[in-house]
Structure 1
Amino acid sequence: MTKWAQSLIRISNYEVETLQKRLADITTRRATAEMRIAVLDAERELETENARACPSSGRLLEAYLGGWKLRRDTAQSDLREVESEELGARDALMSAFEELKKFEHVAEATRLSQLAALARRESAAMDEQAIRRAARAG
Structure 2
Amino acid sequence: MLPLTTSSSAHKNDVDLPPFLPETIRAVQQISIEKAPGTDAIPPEVYKPSGPRLRVKLTTLFREIWRQGKFLQDFKDTTIVHHYKWKGNRQLRDNHRGISSFNIAGKIFSRIRLNRLNGHLAQGLLPESQCGFRRHR
Instruction: Work out whether the TM-score is over 0.5.
Output: no
TM-score, with length taken from structure 2: 0.25
> Relative contact order, CA 8 A, sep 6+: which one is greater?
1
Which has a greater percent of strand? 2
Which protein has the bigger helix share?
1
TM-score (norm 1): 0.24
